[in-house]
Amino acid sequence: MKKMMIVLVGLAAMILAAPAMAHFQMVYTPESALEKAKPIDLKLVFTHPFEAGHTMDMGKPKQFFVVRKGRKKDLLDTLKPIQWTSLTNSGAAYETTYQLRGMGDNVFCLVPSPYYEAEEDIYIQQITKMVVNTAGFPTDWDAEVGLPAEIVPLDKPYGLWTGNVFRGIVKSDGKPVPNAEIEVEYMNHRPLPSHNAFAEKAEVEAPQDAFVTLTIKANAGGEFAFGIPKSGWWGFCALGVGPADAHKGKELSQDAVIWVQAKDMK
C-alpha cells in the first residue's frame, strides 16, 4: 500500500508539472499574401500548435464563411471531414478548397461547435479569423465582421516583417473588452497539408514552459500589442470574451482567435 501511495503521488506530481498548453482553433493555409488569385487549401484543426500536441475532435462547425469587399459568402457546405495527426494522436478536423478571385482581402471566419473539455468540465468555443490577401490591395483586413467574439486587427495580419508589432482590439458583440487576457502561441511545427499532419521537427525549443503559451493583457480600451520575434504563423486567443457563458448547463469559454503571418526580410 505504501509503495502504491508513492506511485500515485509521483504521478500526480508529473501531471501538475506538465506544461499547460493552450487550445487553439486553427484556420490554416500556407501563405497569407499572394501575388495573384488562385485556389487555396484550408485546414480547420483544433489543437495545440506550439507542441503539435493533442488534437481535439471538432464537431460540425456552426458557421464558416469568407468576407470579401464587404460581402459575405457561406462556405459551410464546402467543408469535408478529415483526420489531422499531431505528434500524440489524430483528431477529427475539416478541410476545403477556395478559389480566390481578383485583388484584395479574404477574411475567413469560423464559428465552431462548442468543444467539451472533460479535464476542466467546461465547453470551449473559439471563434476564429484568418486573412488572405491577393496582389497587395487592401480591402477588408481591418473591418469588423460582427462576430460575437472578435479580434479586430490594427495592423495587416498578412503584411508583417519579423520584428514588427501586431496590434488588435478585442471585442464582444462589437464593444471593446477592457483588460482582456490573451494567449499567444507560435505554430512551432510546420503543417504538412498533403499529409494532414504536423511535421515532427520543431522550429524552436522553449527554454521553459512559460515560453510555450505566452500571455499578454489588453488595456482598458481592449487594445493589445505584441512584437513578433520569429517568422511564421502566430495565433492570438482572447479568453472568455464572448457574450455567451454557458452551454448545455455547463460553463462556456467563448474565445476570439486571429492568426497572423510574419516574414523574414531577405
pLDDT value, residue 8:
37
pLDDT tens for 187-202 read 999 999 999 999 999 9
3-state secondary structure at position 76: helix
Mean pLDDT of the chain: 93
Residues of the chain with pLDDT under 70: 1-21
Tell me, what's the pLDDT at 22? Answer: 84
* Residue 192 confidence (pLDDT): 98
| Dist. CA 225–CA 23, nearest whole Å | 21
- Per-residue pLDDT tens digits for 124-146: 999 999 999 999 999 999 999 99
CATH for the stretch 22-263: 2.60.40.10
Give Cβ neighbours of residue 30 (< 8 Å, ≥ 6 apart).
Answer: 41, 191, 193
Please state, in angstroms and rounded to a whole number, the distance separating the CA atoms of residues 11 and 92: 29
**What is the Cα–Cα distance from 228 to 170, expressed in whole angstroms?**
18
Compute the distance between CA of residue 147 and CA of residue 174 in angstroms, rounded to an integer: 8
DSSP 64: E
Question: Nine-digit cell at 83?
Answer: 483526420
The pTM (predicted TM-score) of the whole model is 0.92
